[in-house]
Each structure stands twice: as structure tokens, then as C-alpha cells.
A and B are shown apart, each in its own frame.
Chain A
Amino acid sequence: MGKTMKVVVTLALVAATATAAEAQQAYRSYDQLTEAIQSLVGGSDAASVESIGESRDGRDVWLVTLAGDGPLPAEDRPGIMVVGTLEGDHLIGGEIAVEAIRWLLEQDGSNDEVTRLLSENVVYAVPRLNPDGAEAYFGDLAWGRRGNAWQEDDDNDARMAEDGPNDLNGDGVVTVMRVPDRSGDLIPHPDDPRLMKEADPVEGESGTHTMYREGTDDDGDGFIAEDGPGGVDLNRNFQHEYPYWEADAGRHMVSEPESRAIMDFMVDNRNIAAILTFGHTDNLVEPPNGQGRLASPRTISLMDWAEMSNADVFDVGVFGGQTNFGNLQQRGAQLGRDNPPEQGRRPVTTYNGQDRPYFATVSDAYREITGIEETGYHRAPEGAFFEFGYFQYGVPSFSTQGWAMPEAEGDTFDQRLLNAMDAAGSDGFVDWEPFTHPTLGEVEIGGFHPYMAVNPPPDVIPQLGAAHGEFIARLGGMLPNVRFVEATAEAIGGGLWKVDATVENAGYFPTALAHGQVSRSVDPTLVQIQVDPEAVVSGDAKSARTARIDGSGGTANYSWIIRGSAGQTIEITSRAQKGGRDSITVTLR
């Protein structure tokens, strides 16, 4: 039994003998998390829970709504959507979400920011979007399941999930194998022989090893662990920069019941004005740069190299000359039917320059509140939910790992991760042990523990929950907040009145981000004077629309000439899709 199992055992002992509060200090199974959510919600008037859908294995996807008494019904309040554990191996995300809810409910009434949040805003939280994937953590074998329970023929050989990883050395963990191989591309890292590096022929280095996932060639097709239990990685299943035709991204965008459940909720609740997700990509610690792009990916090379051992599985069975993707074919000669290939527009893929300062401000607040200054594992956000949130839903949308590993030295991410684990006394690296493999001969098995590289020790969960609760409250205070500041009416003779009204956005964010306007996904603020349309003689339209009202006290002015009678009371209403509703009355005198 490897060292990792000892850690888990130790934690279990701690949990068994700890107080009730400390009992949260372990990752929770679906049943435990469900119970925790229900007990949290049961003890509060400001919280409710509903199931927005079922996972492929039939588990409920829970959505918690936090909304105390306030001037507006919850569905009209500017809302924050919080989503955790889209990737099944990112358990920490869901745990932080639940503990943030706990902290917010505890602080309601004593902490001003929280009290304001729960009366003026609404918080929707789906702590664990991928309950099936997360549940694999509690199974007998830790193999780092990221996807849901969709069955996929990963290697497209008309056999389903016939060659998954195997726990060859019986330590309960699937890691990787390094195999002496004269034609390999890798060598043990000179600075730390636990790690590997690519041999550099320019430096006179020659490869000595090849890497594989821990496993055997179960189906005898010449590949090792190339078709495991499958599953769709939900954070690769959404509509922006979707990674088409990759086995773990689903058959198509939003193909999964869990993805559909949250997407339908987003569509039905367009008062959602900001999104916070926990996952394997960060745009909070490191906000979009000057080109509107996120930081380059930092993934674990040991695992990537092992995956690459199956890179040419799809080349087997390709016969005959391969044809190229042709030049664009121009066909037909009907008049006026010869459109240029560049017609139409392309989707935006960088953060809008006008929006980037808002992301920077939020990043400052996040780092200050949570103390998190480092990004750990960080992958390209293809098909990620938070990217949908900004690029298609048009609101400020964030993603974070939710925790930081200690700062550590190293030229590569693998080195920094390993050094940080060493410094923290963590056993997240399974030391290499020799093993006699049935087809590969003498190999070594070891490498990073699939869960410990992307999740912190569970004892930090309550503290991370509180910090993120505070951040959510701060974010709520930034949402657009559109209110009437004044309305006046002045008789101009002949039964006509001039009615003026001013609204102000008392929040920090504008009513629509620049990209919210570009993407046409945020409605203009609608200000309506509630008289018969025929009574509006001149000035603004009865239903006046303003595309964007800046935050920090930005205003919009409206002026109508209406036909009316003295003593008549006129109501003017406002609807800011992301900034609430308001109304004001003025009497004609």
C-alpha cells in the first residue's frame, strides 16, 4: 500500500474523532453533500433548494437559492450564479460553494455586505454540477474521473469502454508508468529524478523512456488504457470555443443532461448578472491580459506524456490515399450567386478592451479577500461554462481553482507542483516503484496522485468557504443597480406636460458590459412612461431603451411631452435586465 492511502486513512481517523464543525473537514460523497445542503437550507428562511435536473446516473443536480426579504422578488434581483465541480475530479469547488453558502447564511444580519447581498441580490448555487464524476473519488480506485457517466467508445473501435486503466500495483491509485525504451523521447529530469523531461538532442541527450497510463492492453489492440469508462467533461461541453469531435467533450455542445439543466436555468433566469465557477481554469487570480487573453495552460506533463502514448490510435485502420481538405469549391453560375467566402462575422474570442478593467478590479478584490496569489493547474478553457458566461451570456464571468498551492521554485509546472507538495509535507506524489508488466516488461509505476494535484487537503475547506462567501458578497455589491433618482412634470399649456426622469446605476458594473452589447445578450435598460401610447406627443418613445448605463453613478435622462390632465398621477417604470426593476410616480399639477 502506497503512502497516499495512509493519508486518507489518517484523515478518516481525524474525522471520526473530531467535533461536529471539524467533521466537515473531509470531502463529502453525494449523500453527505446532499444532507449538508438540506440541513443548511432547512435552517434558514433565506435559502431554498431544488433539483434542476438529473445526472446520467440519476443523481439530482441541486440548486440552492439564497434570497432574504427585500424590495424586489428574487427573480427580478440582479443575481450571481455559482457553479462548482463541473469537472468530477475538482471536488474542492463544490465544497467551497457549500461552505460559502454556510458562511453567508451565518453572516446574514451581522455582516453589512452579506445582509445587503441577501436583501438586494439573489445567489444561485449549483455546488456539484457533476455528481456522477465526483462520486468516483469515493470508489475503490482513485483514477481521477473528470467526466460524467456518459459511456463513450473513446477509441472508436465499436467496443465500449473495454480497455480502461488498471491498478497494477494494487495501491488504490491509477498513476503512470515509465518504461525503459531506446526509442523513447523522455529522460529522468536531471534536477529531480522523480520527474521526467523531453530529451534534447541539441544538448547531446538521447531519450531513454516512454510513458503510459497505469494499465494493460486489455483488448489486445496494441494500446494501453485507451478506452476507459469515458464520460463527458462538463467544463468542455459548452458553446464557446467548443472542442469539436473530442471524445471527452461530448457528442456536441450541451449534449449532457447536467449541461442542459444548467443552461435551461440560465436561459430562464436572465437576471443573472455575474457568474463564479470553480474549475481547472483561472481568470480571477490572473485576469485577461492586454490582448484580452488568459494565461497559457499549465498542466501536468507526466500525465500528458502518458496520454500521448495513445495518440495514434485513430491512425490504425486508415487505408488508401488520404484526401486533403479541398480548396473551397465554387459552384454554379446563377447571377448574383457567388458570395465571398469571408461573408458573415466570426465569434469574438478575446475579452473586450472596455471590459478588461472590470475583470482587473474583481481580480484585485479576489486576491485581497482570499489571499490567493498563485494559480496552480490551469488548462485552456475550451467549451468551459464560465467562457459561455462572458462570450455568449454577456456578463462578468469568472473561474478559479478556489485554492492555491504554496509558492514554490521550479522551471516547469511539474517541478513547482512537486516542490510545493514537498514543502507542505504532502504525499501527492506517489514514489516510483518497480513492477513487472505483462507486455512491457520491467517498468516503474508512480507519479502525481490524480486528485491531490488538483485538490487541497480538506482541512482548509471551511476557511476557503468563508473567504469565497466574502468574495461573493463583494461581487454582489458590484452588480448593476438601476434606480430612479428623480422625476418631474411641468405644465407647458394646452393640456400638455413635460415629464422628465433620471435613472442612476448605483452599482459598479455597467448595465451591460461592452461585450454584452456586442453579443446582444443583455437587454437594453427599458424605461416606460405608463400612459397610453397615443398620449405621448413628442420626446422619447413611450418605451425608451438605453443600451448601457455606466456604473458608479452613471445616469440616463428621459424626457416626454405628454397629453394629460391636472391631478393625474403618472408612473414611470424601469427594467434593467441585470440591474433590477424600479418605478417612480409624478403628479401632473
Chain B
Amino acid sequence: MLAVAVSMAVSATPATAQITTGSDPEHELIFSWDRWLDHDELNERMEIMADQWPEFLTLETIGQSYGGRDLKIMTINNPETGDELDKAAMFIEANVHGNEIQGGEVVIYTIWYLMENYDRIPEIRRLVDERVFYLLPSVNPDGRDWFMDQTGSGARTGHVPVDSDGDGLFDEDGPNDLNGNGVIEQIRKYVPGAGDFIIDPDNPNSLRRVGPNERGDWILLGSEGIDDDGDGRVNEDPPGGYDPNRNYPSDWQPEYVQGGAMNYPFELPEPRAIEEFMVSKPNIAGSQSFHNTGGMILRGPGAAWYGDYPQSDVRVYNELGENGERMLPWYDYFVVWQGLYAVHGGQLDWANDGHGAVGFSNELWNGGQYYQSPLLTEQQRDEDTPIGGGRSNYFFDDFLTFGRNYVEWAPFDHPQYGEVEMGGFRKLQGRVNPRFMSMELFHRNMAFTLYQADEMPLMSMGEAEVERVSGNTFKVRVPIRNERLMPTILERARRYNVVDPDILTLEGADVLMAGWVDEHNFEGTVDRIDQAELDRILIRSGHPGRTTRYIEYLVQGSGNVTIEYASQKGGTVSTTVALN
């Protein structure tokens, strides 16, 4: 493989040839990867890239968020290698939960990396030439900007107003930044002997729940805020209050079964805009929705009782997921319900069930990555070390991010609670990786999506063999192959009829009989195809991955016949042969 790649590179464009000179040439666009971007900045980078590489990139607005922010999808397609809809496409989105930000940067990085390296790395060039990519950096820009530009508290939700406390008013009592430091802190109150927490003797910043025969001196009173609406409760109706990743139609369940689902699937403007886009792109064969956190490569189904995928589909997922584990240290390949928790109405179920696309969701960043060596992992488990017993986050912040992620506890005179202290970790701690570790996270996760994209179905057709049986009656035999792992039609998609069947047509002669060849190297009968229209054969179960099938026709006629195999997700291939 490598040898082939190098020889291709040498014979390719001058830009590629520079690889052999040693040091990399400078990038065409110099982006920094060590800061987080708000929604405008994400879109700005996409616009810059679309201007830089117009022959490949198309930036399109597919709708607006509830807050009026543009949802912009980047299409990567090389028109020289075929029409967009005739090539399998990989859909990559991120940040449906507003506080799970770094997937947005992974998306930007992916576009940038593919374009910068198109002329440098032959495998990247091949991938861009063979495939189409659709990339959306933030599904929930209202939540993202709330997280980036505001205090970041409660940013998981979108911003469609919800009456969380049943008083007929909407979003009227959220957290408040009372001390004006830009952070929604935790509130703790000193109640000597009557609390359920004590201050960790080894770390005054850290509260620890009381053990047996201990009395606590502190209670926690929730997030920084006041009783805005004067109803006697604090922070009981913050902005939004739902989960946009429970608003998809497959196994959608109402609020009492699945919290945050809203009233019906695609009620929310952002998922609905994406759905309209995806319906217009039946070539989408793979999907990734980046989340954080936990270090997981998740597949559906979201809930066990919805039933697992058919075994042939599971085999495809397993091969991708297990190789993903090898590409992403600290990540585990899980089924959602089994490794995380039951999710009804999530995006990856809908990608699989509603679009027939292999759908993964990576939970970016794993806390294990703070301390990467086996020795340090061992120390974290030991109560008596400086990074043991819950102290690891504080140690990391002190020594590696220089205290940037922590607000020291300080007294505050609260209008409802009286004398309290406020403090705690800032929003970026925990779910979001430290900035200096971004590039590795971006690259490894991108690499997994590129691997998935490379394994989408890819049809090819070999040369037809013609044999005269008698007079103007001929046998025509053609090898048809799917070069990659994924089938053209997932078995579940076949059962749900959500993907058009593959269609095998023959033009130029009358078809008397058609069948699949049982064994190509053995002259014998075929597995007869029992359909009314043999010049237009339906293949509902699609073409399995890495498999060659031979179709044999018995035709009558003369001149040329053209045989075409058309697949929504595997492309269209054809061959023409003369009957003689």
C-alpha cells in the first residue's frame, strides 16, 4: 500500500513532489488550533476556506437556529470525479449540545486538513476524489454562543423557550452572575455541624461528602443565582430546558419516558433544517455526530428494547468501531444503551434507521488523558498521592493550566441565602480538553471519520464476457463488486424501505433469463432471478461489502448492450459490450 502511494506521489503534481524534499511546505491557510471558537468564528473560518479552495468547497446556509444564527454546511466535492450525488457521502456534525464544543473545531480541522493535504498525501487525494463530505460544525449555535460568550451555565440545551416550572412563564428565572466575574459559580454555605460536606484537609478548595460518624460544616446551594421572578425559588426556569439530541424520530419517546424530548420529533428548528438537507442527499452513507465527554465511539441502538441491529449490520459496525478503538487511545466502542445510558430519539439512531447511513457518535475527550501513563493512572487510584482521591483535577489545573480553570471560593452576601461563599471550576474544566491537547484530539477523531468514509460502499464493474449460445442468443456475464466494507444497503434500511433498492439494468437487447452465478469458476446453472422485469432488476438487499457477484443474462439481439448498476449510496457503474 505504502509503496503504491509513494510511486503515485512522485508521478503526480509538483506540489506532491515536495514531500520528498524533507521539511513541509508552509500551509496555505495558517489557523491556530489552541483556542476555542464562537459561532461567528466557526463560520468565518469556513468562509475563508471556501474562498481558498473554491474548486472543492461549497458553503451553504441550510436554515437558522431559533436564535437566528445561520446553520452553514460545507460540502467537499471534487466535481472532476463525478456528480456529487453519484458518490457516497460522509456527514459530520458536532455540538448539538451547546456545551460540547470541541467537535466544532474537529470539523474545521477536517476541512482544513483534507484541503491542505490534497496535493501532498495521495491517500487524502484519493479519498477526496472518491467521496463527498458534508460538514456542520455546530448544530446548536445558540447553545454554543451561550457557552462561549456568556457564562456557559446550562448550555447543553438549545434556546427554544420552555416553561420549566409550570407557571405559564417561559425562561424567566435562570442563573445570574451576581458578582460579575463572568462565571456561574457554585454556592456553599457554612453551617457548623449541620452540613453534609467538609472541606478536604489536604485541599481547601475541595469539598468532600461526610463519611460515617462525621458531621459536615457545609451545604451546597446550587448555582449562582437569585429568585428572579419572586416565586420563592431560585434558578427554576433557565433558558431552554430540553435535549436537542432527543428530538429525532427513531424511537422518539415523550417527555415522561425520555426527558428533554420536546413535544414531537423535529419540533426544533435546527434538527429539522438538517433533516431537510439530509433528505436531499440520499448519497449519505456515513454519519458522525461529535459529542463530549467520556472517550467513546458510540453506535445505536440508543435503547435496548428497540432491538439490536441485524447481525450483518453489526459486523460492519464492529469492524469500524474496533479499529476506531485502536486509533483513539482511551476511547471505548460501545452500544449507547449498554455503555452510556438509554437514549430515545437520538441522532445516530435516525442516521441509521431513517437514512440508512452507518452512524457513530464520538464522545470526545476522556478524563484518563489528564494522566496518560499507567504509573499515573495507578497513582490516581491511591488516596494518599497528590493526584489521588479526587485531587487530580486540582493538581492538573495548578501545574498544567496554571490555575486558569478555577475560581477561588470567596464570601458573598446573597439576597436569599445570606452569607455564603461562591467558587469552583470554570466551564472549560472537565468536559472540554485542555487547549494544548486539542490537536491530537482533532486529528485522531478526524482520522476515524476518514477511515469510516473510506469504508463506505464503492461499486465497480468488471469487463463483460459474451458467449454466443446460438444465432442471436447470447450469454452475457459481468462481475459486479463492492470494493469496501459497508454494504450498499444496510439490512435494517432494507427492512424499513428507507433507501432505494439498487437497480441493475440492461439496455440494447431482450433479456430472456437472468441469474446470479453460483460459482464463477464452475460452468453450471445460475440462481435464477424471479422478477417480472429482467431488464430492470431490483436488488433490495443491496450489495454486501468486499464482495464480487457475477450476473449472467441470456439475451437476444445484436449490437451493443449496456449493463448498469445504480446504487444510491454506492454510486453508479456500467459497462458496454458488443454481442458477437
Contacts and interface: CB of A to CB of B under 8 A. Distances in A.
A325 B310 contact: yes
A347 B304 contact: no
A400 B246 CA distance: 33
Contacts of B254: 239, 347, 391-392, 519, 521
Interface in B240-255: 249-250, 252-255
Nearest to B264: A254
Given A317-B538, A533-B231, A222 B501 contact: no
Given A324-B310, A343-B304, A518-B256, A245 B337 contact: no
A331 B265 contact: no
Contacts of A347: 253-254, 256-257
A392 B305 CA distance: 20
B257 A341 contact: no
Contacts of B436: none
B449 to A, nearest CB: 20
B497 A314 contact: yes
B334 to A, nearest CB: 5
Contact of B541 (A319, A324, A342): A319
Given A252-B265, A326-B314, A338 B255 contact: no
Contacts of A263: 263-264, 267
A329 B98 CA distance: 31
Contact of B532 (A158, A222, A332, A577): A222
B561 interface: no
A220 to B, nearest CB: 6
B333 A542 contact: no
A342 B305 contact: yes
A450 B56 CA distance: 55
A344 B338 CA distance: 12
A318 B313 CA distance: 16
A520 B255 CA distance: 7
Contact of B252 (A239, A345, A518): A239
A157 B354 CA distance: 17
A222 B533 CA distance: 8
Contacts of A156: 497, 500-501, 540
A354 interface: no
A341 B166 contact: no
B201 interface: no
Interface string A230-272: 0000000001000011010001111100001001001100000
A248 to B, nearest CB: 12
B167 A220 contact: no
B481 to A, nearest CB: 15
Interface of B: 163, 166-168, 227, 230-233, 249-250, 252-257, 263-267, 279, 303-305, 307-314, 318, 321, 332-335, 337-342, 344, 354, 416, 491, 494-498, 500-501, 503, 516, 527, 530-533, 537-541, 544
Given A329-B335, A521-B254, 12 more contacts: A245-B495, A251-B249, A252-B252, A254-B266, A266-B263, A267-B267, A320-B544, A322-B491, A341-B305, A343-B341, A344-B342, A543-B231
Nearest 8 Cβ contacts at the A-B interface: A252-B249, A317-B538, A341-B304, A542-B232, A523-B166, A222-B532, A344-B342, A317-B540
Interface of A: 153, 156-158, 217, 220-222, 239, 244-245, 247, 251-255, 260, 263, 266-267, 314, 316-320, 322-332, 334, 337-339, 341-347, 391-392, 518-521, 523-524, 526, 528, 532-534, 536, 541-543, 545, 575, 577
20 contacts: A156-B497, A221-B532, A221-B533, A222-B532, A245-B498, A252-B252, A253-B264, A254-B265, A260-B264, A316-B540, A325-B307, A326-B314, A331-B333, A337-B339, A344-B342, A345-B257, A347-B254, A519-B254, A528-B167, A543-B231
